[in-house]
Amino acid sequence: MLPYLSVVVICFNMKRELPRTLYSLSATYQKGIRREEYEIILVDNGSADPPAPDAYSHLDLNLTALNMEDATPSPVPAINRGIAVARGGVIGVFIDGARMASPGLLANVLASMKTSPRAFVGSRGRYLGPGFQRSLIARGYSREVEDRMLAKCGWERDGYQLFDQSFFDESSGPSWFHRISESNSLFMPRAMWNELQGYDAKFVQPGGGLVNLDTWFRACQLPDAIAIVLLGEATFHQIHGGVSTNSVTEMFGKFDKEYRALRGRDYSYPDKPLISWGGFRHQPPDWEMSTEYSQLLRWQRMIIALKSRAKRLLRRSGQQKMSGSGGRRSETGTANASFSPYGLSLSRQEVVQQLLDRLGRHVYLEIGIDYGDSLRPIRAKSKIGVDPKPGIPRYTRLKMAVKNLFSPETTTLYTKTSDEFFAGHAELFHDCPLDVALVDGLHTFEQAYLDVLNCLKVLGPKGVIVMHDCNPPCASAATPSTSHEEAIQRNYPNPDTRWCGDVWKTVLLLRSLHNDLNVFVLDTDCGLGIVTRGKNISPLPLSADEVAAMTYPEFEARRDSLLDLRSPDTFAAFIETHFM
């Protein structure tokens, strides 16, 4: 007979999230385990409105509810109290009560632990939503968006549908076969919890800091311990404003400092071999099954940045060997091979940097900086970023400010809309006109058009405007919307979460209404629109009303001609011609 199972669930101000979590742990929802085989111990850690003892009596659960009268910011005392009162021979901990379970989690835990009395079991964690929740929150992901998504997917009837609505969290991916640094559903025999003496109460940071990672690491260090990670089962994190997973402010510096003080070293992944247990009731996408492909996805941006640096070094080396009269540079063509799994041959960062290099790297403006992944690698004397809700962490902003004091290159961030920026700061460009602008803000053609017009007012004679997301790969990616999350909701249940909006219409407007502009689109990185001053040699015969009313099927039928879509291989020739 399998041992009795106890599951300790910690909650704090989770009135919205907790009912889903407890339902996902109920015998109604869990498969292969009966109500009499396990108990749930709910420990409230100081909620403003603690769960009432009978609030969940309607669920098919053996539920014990405890309140921590002396609650602390760290959940560790609450966890250890739950472990102490547990009756089971196997005890599991959900440090975060906002995490829903997949339907086979509990049965697979008990089955896998039959392999050895020294086995401990964890499952991988996933974020609800199409990406890392900290990033999604900065883009408008909210409880309301998540509620609508969960309401539509039918998870109560089939919990494995949650895999289609989720994404591996940072400690659990990027594939089913990578090592993990923690588990938000950690199960061990009672004897092994006794050896660990539970969670370490010296971790006192809000949310526990790195205590969950520390507990997984210490479990891996126990003598003869066998680490098992379940396949095809997971926990799913609901957005709830948690200190670690959902905070847009950076707590990790404090967490790291506490860990170093307690352990005398920086945290590192345990080198314990992992045993994968189970199978898949729901077929994962290819990138979650391939360690090589998922690793490429994780490091894509870093590789693109390194590739850009290598190209610049090669260009510098080549320029030193150039010969010619009048000091005029003559660049040789270079292959634009890409390391990106999406098949990019030029990224927007590479395009921008090549343009800046030719213009002397004076002034660069980026509209829509998000987390600064495009802005930070760019080299220019003056970099200006504009975003009403930038996601750049505070410590990174501090590093930028310090660098500004000692570097000839300065970065200035404006937390406001692009309209507000141009209305109040156009004088920045009076003495030093704008060299290159990247328009990557609100993905609507109306706003992108206004951004281009405002950039043109301060653009230097040879300046260039680059527009991102001008060539949507499919109809769902072209969904008109004011946010990524809204577009996802409109496209449900389409699993393709790429989103460019209707920025493609901006290209049509510029080519139709402006005879003094050259406009075309590079077929790379979701379409990079290139806008420069000059005679429009191939204007489109469209009115503004016709552009606004155009549908995606109409656009798709004439995509190449409407965008003047060009291969990225033509970019080198454009540079030579434009800067003659």
Q: Are residues 205 and 110 located together in one domain of the fold? A: yes
At 496 the pLDDT is 60
Q: What is the pLDDT of residues 360-388, one digit of tens each?
A: 889 999 999 987 878 888 999 999 999 99
46, part of any domain: yes
Last-in-domain residue among 273, 289, 305 = 289
42, part of any domain: yes
At 346 the pLDDT is 81
Q: Are residues 52 and 178 located together in one domain of the fold? A: yes
294, part of any domain: no
Q: Are residues 395 and 469 located together in one domain of the fold? A: yes
At 492 the pLDDT is 57
* Mean of the per-residue pLDDT values of the chain: 86
For the stretch 257-264, contacts whose Cβ atoms lie closer than 8 Å and that sit 24 or more positions apart, written own/partner, are: 258/203, 258/204, 258/205, 258/209, 258/210, 259/209, 259/210, 259/214, 262/200, 262/202, 262/203, 262/214, 263/214
90, part of any domain: yes
The domain spanning residue 267 has which CATH number? 3.90.550.10
Q: What is the pLDDT of residues 456-466, one digit of tens each?
A: 999 999 999 99
Q: What is the pLDDT of residues 504-528, one digit of tens each?
A: 999 999 999 999 999 999 999 899 9
| DSSP per-residue string spanning 293-353 | HHHHHHHHHHHHHHHHHHHHHHHHHHHHT---GGG---PPP-------TT--SS-HHHHHH
Last-in-domain residue among 289, 310, 337 = 289
Percent of the chain clearing pLDDT 70 (strictly above): 86
369, part of any domain: yes
How many domains, the chain? 2
Closest CA to 195 of 164, 225, 231: 225
Q: Are residues 360 and 238 located together in one domain of the fold? A: no
Q: Are residues 284 and 355 located together in one domain of the fold? A: no
At 98 the pLDDT is 96
Amino acid at residue number 136: L
312, part of any domain: no
Q: What is the pLDDT of residues 255-303, one digit of tens each?
A: 888 999 999 998 988 989 999 999 998 888 877 887 655 555 555 544 5
Average pLDDT rounded to a whole number, residues 111-123: 95
At 142 the pLDDT is 87
Average pLDDT rounded to a whole number, residues 30-54: 93
The domain spanning residue 570 has which CATH number? 3.40.50.150
Q: What is the pLDDT of residues 341-359, one digit of tens each?
A: 233 468 899 999 999 999 9
571, part of any domain: yes
Rounded CA Rg of the chain: 27
Q: Are residues 284 and 193 located together in one domain of the fold? A: yes
Inform me whether the pLDDT recorded for 414 exceeds 80. yes
Q: Are residues 231 and 353 located together in one domain of the fold? A: no
Q: What is the pLDDT of residues 188-203, one digit of tens each?
A: 999 999 999 999 999 9
Last-in-domain residue among 269, 289, 309 = 289
Q: Are residues 554 and 447 located together in one domain of the fold? A: yes
User: Do residues 48 and 12 touch, judged by C-beta distance below 8 A?
Assistant: no
Q: Are residues 466 and 357 located together in one domain of the fold? A: yes
pLDDT band at 400; cut points 50, 70, 90: confident
Q: Are residues 116 and 185 located together in one domain of the fold? A: yes
Q: Are residues 374 and 260 located together in one domain of the fold? A: no
Report residue 185: phi and psi, to 5°: -145, 85
Q: Are residues 133 and 16 located together in one domain of the fold? A: yes
pTM > 0.85: no
What residue has token string 């010619």? Answer: 324
Range of the domain at 464: 349-578
What residue has token string 């707590």? Answer: 251
Residue with the larger pLDDT of the pair 375 and 334: 375
Q: What is the pLDDT of residues 421-451, one digit of tens each?
A: 999 999 999 989 999 999 999 999 999 999 9
Report residue 219: phi and psi, to 5°: -65, -40
129, part of any domain: yes
